[in-house]
Structure 1
Amino acid sequence: MEYLVVKWLHILSATFLFGTGIGSAWYLLFSVVSRNVAAIAVVSRIVVTADWLFTATTMVAQPLTGFYLIHLAGYPLHSKWIMWSVILFAIAGLCWFPVVWLQMRLRDLSAAAAANGTPLPPLFWRYFRIWVVLGVPAFFAFLAVFWLMVAKPM
């Protein structure tokens, strides 16, 4: 029973991690594309909150439950699918840490522009481009981790 509970928690946290990530990216991307400063300010504030509530907690839960599942199932740590999962998860995490910082800057810059009735500053657009560039490898890394988690290729 313990294995099933941990597996359920692992799958649930993976779902929250990926779902929050893709949902947040979708809404932030399309609010920015709209160029509606007030909408961008609201969405970026919500995205930052969602990242701290869901993404941060699941970034911790995933490796904890994953390594415990490996232990419970008796998989060798040197299995290629496990090593690749860890590497890809680390790549996604290394992209995510600056993305969180960027999202907080995007939130602050858009809130100031909305409050002052001014356009978004050039720094906003620079941060936004970096946010997109970091989001692409993180997205594909998480997709690959999902596949490895399900397929467990030997």
Structure 2
Amino acid sequence: MEYVIVKWLHILSSTFLFGTGIGSAWYLLFAVISRNVAAIAVVTRIVVMADWIFTGLTMIAQPATGFYLVHLAGFPLHSKWIMWSITLFVIAACCWFPVVWLQMRLRDTAAAAAAEGTPLPPAFWRYFKRWIVLGIPAFFAFLAVFYLMVAKPM
């Protein structure tokens, strides 16, 4: 029963991790496309909060439950699918840390522009482009990790 509970927690946390990431990216992208500075200020504030609460916690829960599942199931840690899962997770995490920093810059820049009633400054667009560039490999890395979790190719 312990294995089932840990697996359920692992799947649940992966759902929160991926779901929050996709949802946050979707709303932030379309808020920015609208070019409505007030809307962008609100959405970036909420996205930063969601990233810290959901993504931050699940970035801890995923490896913790994953390594424990490997132990409980008796999988060799050096299995290719496990090594690839770890590598891809690390790649996604290395993208996520700067993304959170960029989101905080987007939030602060948009809030200042909204308060002043001015358009978004060039710095906002530089941060936004970097956010997109880092989000793409993180997205595909997590897709691949999902596949590896399900298929466990030997």
Query: Are 1:151 and 2:135 counterparts?
Result: no
Q: Report the residue type matching 2:102 in the other structure.
A: L
Paired residues for 1:60-79 under 5 Å = 60-79=60-79
Residues in 2 aligned to 1:96 and 1:121: alpha-carbon distance in whole angstroms: 24
The match for 1:112 is 112
CA offset digits 1:19-57 (Å, max 9, x no partner): 000000000000000000000000000000000000000
Q: Name stretches of at least 5 consecutive residues in structure 2 with no aligned partner.
A: none
C-alpha displacement of 1:93: 0.2
Residues in 2 aligned to 1:108 and 1:9: alpha-carbon distance in whole angstroms: 34
Q: Report the residue type matching 2:14 in the other structure.
A: A
C-alpha displacement of 1:63: 0.1
The match for 2:131 is 131
Residues in 2 aligned to 1:113 and 1:78: alpha-carbon distance in whole angstroms: 50
Q: Report the residue type matching 2:30 in the other structure.
A: F
The match for 1:24 is 24
Q: Report the residue type matching 1:79 in the other structure.
A: S
The match for 1:122 is 122
Q: Report the residue type matching 1:151 in the other structure.
A: A
Q: Report the residue type matching 2:77 in the other structure.
A: L
Residues in 2 aligned to 1:100 and 1:25: alpha-carbon distance in whole angstroms: 12
Q: Name stretches of at least 5 consecutive residues in structure 1 with no aligned partner.
A: none
The match for 1:141 is 141
The percentage of counterpart residues that share the same residue type is 82
Residues in 2 aligned to 1:100 and 1:47: alpha-carbon distance in whole angstroms: 9
C-alpha displacement of 1:123: 0.2
Cα RMSD after superposing both structures: 0.2
Runs of 4+ in 1 over 6 A off after TM superposition: none
TM-score in terms of structure 2 length: 1.00
TM-score in terms of structure 1 length: 1.00
Q: In structure 2, the residue corresponding to 1:77 is in which secondary structure?
A: coil
The match for 1:90 is 90
The match for 1:57 is 57
